[in-house]
Structure 1
């Protein structure tokens, strides 16, 4: 004798499968685009190339896509050459500096210095500072640190040119 419950159980299984499949592809209409894609929106950079010279990479949003090109260590201090492709600008970042230490970024063209921006660590700065930016469009940039704390040496070390 056949059970009367089997067709009902089979129908329920088909119905549950259909509802589950439909809910897997359903996205609520009120979902925000950021929530759906998972990528946060960034503010656009406010300068490009020569218009970035002397400006702050954080305030201009150039830091948003920045990469570290090279870094060097000198007596526990780290100087980094930072570069933003979106802004076509570069700057120096100094970590573990001491008051009086100086970091600078320079650009060159045909072996001649085009621009330099520097910063000196002050007691109220803490140990990490960064320079204003220099234009890096069609130029080569380099970051350096220098200090007079080593006997008989000026204590200068630079990154590669990029």
Structure 2
């Protein structure tokens, strides 16, 4: 029987411990953690429709944000669809990008928003669109040109 290298065995043990810890946190959080908020919280600057077109960081919506979907582009940028339960809003985020690349967020029946990466930066995010249930079919896309793009799945 072949021996498993010690370094590989340690990595598997660490990965298993990390996975078990993550499952324990999810079990403790329970289904309430996934339920959308139904009333505004006082620690964020907007809620649902009032978030439309606003910066998620400036409104405090990034503090509880989760990445609902993500993809890598052919040009090496990471595109994320971010969502805040506290704000009931979504936005697109791009990283590992270069000036001139841009990110957009949209979905059926949603107002869309875009952001172009500025000189000196490799990341950026769009303003928000309303997305109150985390299942409203939002998506985000990253672009270098109209023909060189990639979009996330809807979450």
TM-score by length of 1: 0.64
Corresponding position of 2:52 = 53
- Detail structure 1 runs of 4+ shifted over 6 Å in the superposition: none
CA distance in 1, matches of 2:131, 2:107: 7
Find the residue that maps to 1:108 and give its secondary structure: coil
Aligned partners of 1:51 and 1:140: how far apart in 2?
19
CA distance in 1, matches of 2:129, 2:107: 7
Deviations 1:40-87 (A, max 9, x none): xx9711111111011111111111110011110012100000000111
User: How far 1:130 moved relative to its partner?
Assistant: 0.6
Query: Do residues 62 (structure 1) and 61 (structure 2) align?
Result: yes
d(CA) in 2 for partners of 1:107 and 1:87? Answer: 17
- For residue 117 of structure 1, the aligned residue among 113, 127, 141 is 113
Task: Give the total of aligned pairs.
Answer: 112
Structure 1 portions without partners, runs of 5+: 1-41
Tell me which residue corresponds to 1:130.
Answer: 125
What CA distance in whole angstroms lies between the structure 1 residues aligned with 2:144 and 2:72? 13
How much is the aligned-residue C-alpha RMSD, in angstroms?
1.8
Contact 1:102 1:120 in 2 (8 A): yes
Match of residue 96 from structure 2: 96
What CA distance in whole angstroms lies between the structure 1 residues aligned with 2:111 and 2:61?
Answer: 18
The CA distance in 2 between the partners of 1:77 and 1:134, in whole Å, is 22
Match of 2:24 in 1: none
Structure showing greater radius of gyration is 1
2:108 matched residue in structure 1: 108
